[in-house]
Amino acid sequence: MSVLDHIIDGVKEDLAARRAAYPLAAVERLAAQARPVRDAYRSLVSREFALITEVKRSSPSKGQLASITDPAGLAAQYAAGGAAAVSVLTEERRFGGSLADLDAVRAAVDVPVLRKDFMVDEYQFYEARAHGADMVLLIVAALDDAQLRDFSDLAAELGMAALVETHTAEEIERAQAVNARILGVNVRNLKTLDVDRQVFADLAPALESVGEGTVIVAESGVSGVHDIEFYARYGARAALVGEALVKNSDPRGATEEFTAVGARARAAQAEVAPTARTGKSSA
């Protein structure tokens, strides 16, 4: 059984407990009463390079990353640094997150908020909206085609954007089949948890078929500005960054720096068009 399978098993157990305490009908009512959705897609596409900053306490691969006693304060620093969106881990067993973190961040910032979790049941989507999420994560590797389509439609029905996460060329095709407008490429292998930044470059040809209106998001593997430059050179229009920011003593400044570096890299790459998306010069 892979790491992803183990995580999802735990997610389902925790979900069953929440469902027993708060039936779906009750959560649906709360979702209907939630504050209006913020347009995550517009927030991302309106920037030359967008940063999705993350509130992330720990990970299965590295254990505790940061204590984060004040998730709202951290999110506020991200927003002040120009973050296009704030991602909040809500999975508890492996990532130390919670829906309480999502509530705190939602109350603290006006930028769109992503509920980052392993979404495997419709209940979680109503739950996300009830807690103020504007965007949810859909991991293609964790869903079959019917689930991917149904969950994409449900997110849209609730007004939320979906970050559709892929790892392979085949998964990119599956994401396109549901018309993903925010398409993530995660360079972390969810079976082994190994990170290989080169995966993004290797998938650049597959990303060439993605529509121009699609926001391509690089996920994982960011330790500094050189990683942001690399991803931008190979077609990323945004990056989701957690560890490098939560461990930084100046998350606001780091957010500003990463965003600026990404924008400069994209501008430089545009000058070597027409093959800017693949990161290769036409020379």
Average of per-residue pLDDT across 58-87 = 94
- What secondary structure letter does DSSP report for 140? G
pLDDT at 61 over 90: no
* Mean pLDDT within 154-177: 98
pLDDT score recorded for residue 234: 95
Q: How many CA atoms lie within 13 A of 147 on its CB side?
A: 14
Question: What local confidence, expressed as pLDDT, does residue 60 receive?
Answer: 85
Active-site positions read 54, 56, 116, 165, 186, 219-220
pTM for the complete prediction?
Answer: 0.94
Q: Which residue carries 């549901």 as its tokens?
A: 178
Please choose, from the candidates 104, 64, 54, the residue with its C-alpha nearest in 3D space to the C-alpha of residue 254. 54
149 exposed, middle or buried (CB, 10 Å; 0-12, 13-18, 19+)? middle
In sequence order, what are the beta bridge partners of 87?
54, 114
- CB-based contact 190:141 (threshold 8 Å): yes
Let me know: does 103 contact 86? Beta carbons within 8 Å. no
Question: How many other CB atoms sit within 10 Å of the CB of residue 46?
Answer: 10
Q: What is the residue-averaged pLDDT of the chain?
A: 94
Which of 128, 109, 110 has the alpha carbon at shortest distance from 118? 128
Sign of CA dihedral 133, 138, 144, 150: positive
Contacts of 53 (CB under 8 A, 6+ apart): 75, 78, 81, 83, 85, 86, 87, 241, 242, 245, 251, 255
Interior angle at CA 14, CA 27 and CA 245, nearest 5: 90
Q: What is the largest CA-CA distance in the chain?
A: 62
pLDDT in tens, 233-276: 999 999 999 999 999 999 999 999 999 999 999 999 888 765 44
Please determine, for residue 283, whether its predicted confidence score (pLDDT) is greater than 80: no
Residues 74 and 61: their CA atoms lie apart, in Å, by 23
- Percentage of the chain lying above the pLDDT 70 cut: 96
Q: What is the pLDDT of residue 270?
A: 85
Token readout for 260 is 């600026």
Peptide bond into 60 cis (omega under 30): no
Copy the structure tokens of residue 239: 């990056």
CB within 8 Å of 229: residues ≥ 6 apart: 261, 262, 265
Residue pointed to by tokens 């979702």:
31
Q: Which of 262, 219, 209, 269 is nearest to 240 (CA)?
A: 219
Token reading at 31: 């979702």
Residue partners of 153: CB distance under 8 A and separation at least 6 = none
Q: How far apart are CA 186 and CA 188, in angstroms?
A: 5
